[in-house]
Amino acid sequence: MSKMFVKKGDNVVVIAGTQKGKKGTVLSVDVEKNRVIVDGVNLMSKHTKPNTENPKGGIIKKEASIHASNVMVCDKDGKAGRIGRKKDEQGKSIRYSKKSGEVIK
């Protein structure tokens, strides 16, 4: 199992598929399946029975996962770019944007 280039909370842009061009924040990451769930991207309709949270039931819009290769991490200025890893002064691995060189949280 390898490390993923996206983490929960990253701002990403979708670069392929039907949702191409949409931006959002990563809500969750599934490392085993190499998939991510992005806020407001790839919405699906889920039919629900009545329950305590939703007494009437009905149709709920919910984000579905997309493959991690279809997203690219954005810098603070909103431009997408590739991610690299390097060691800082303490020897800890940090992520940085290869385009701008700035460190990504």
On whether residue 36 sits in a domain, the answer given is yes
On whether residue 5 sits in a domain, the answer given is no
Q: What is the mean pLDDT of the chain?
A: 93
Give the pLDDT score at 92: 93
- CATH code, domain with 66: 2.30.30.30
Percentage of the residues of the chain whose pLDDT score is greater than 90: 80
Token pair for 25: 């924040």
Give the pLDDT score at 10: 93
Give the pLDDT score at 79: 87
Give the pLDDT score at 1: 53
- CA distances for 11 relative to 1, 14, 46, angstroms: 23, 10, 25
On whether residue 32 sits in a domain, the answer given is yes
Range(s) of the domain holding residue 21 = 11-49+57-104
Q: Which of 10, 13, 15 is nearest to 26 (CA)?
A: 10
Give the pLDDT score at 77: 84
Judge residue 26's burial from the number of C-beta atoms within 10 Å of its C-beta, 0-12 exposed, 13-18 middle, 19 or more buried.
buried
Model pTM score:
0.83
On whether residue 76 sits in a domain, the answer given is yes
Q: How many domains does the chain have?
A: 1
Segment 24-37, tens digit of pLDDT: 999 999 999 999 99
Asked if residue 98 lies in contact with residue 84, where contact means CB atoms within 8 angstroms, the answer is yes
On whether residue 6 sits in a domain, the answer given is no
Segment 40-75, tens digit of pLDDT: 999 999 999 999 998 999 999 999 999 999 999 998
On whether residue 75 sits in a domain, the answer given is yes
